[in-house]
Amino acid sequence: MMTQPENHPVLPRDARVAVVAGSGALPRDVVRTLVKGGHRPLVVAIEGEADWLDGENVADFDLWPAPAERLGLFLPRLKRAGVTHLVLAGG
């Protein structure tokens, strides 16, 4: 017998989510789901990889382009921006 999933949010409403986004559909789907759930994610787009951004409505999220070799330098910046959750998605 299959049960219905409980209908409650996984993230608190005040969660500040950053998505380190590479290539492919997964980061796009994660960002869209966050936006649909009422969040305004901060997307750290890996330069040369985050091809899914073409044609995406970037008004729904904050966008920080970043070269892959400098991603580690973004951690203090994410903390200062109030990020409470971090997602790594894509190739």
Q: Can you give the CATH number for the domain in which 73 is found?
A: 3.40.50
From 82, 88, 87, select the one nearest 15 (Cα to Cα): 82
Residue 7 lies in a domain: no
Domain range enclosing 30: 17-89
DSSP conformational letter for 4: P
Residue 24 lies in a domain: yes
pTM of the shown model: 0.86
Residue 9 lies in a domain: no
Residue 46 lies in a domain: yes
Question: Which tens digits make up the pLDDT trace of 9-65?
Answer: 678 989 999 999 999 999 999 999 999 999 999 999 999 999 999 888 899 999 999
Residue 5 lies in a domain: no
Tokens representing 36 are 């649909």
Number of domains present in the structure of the chain: 1
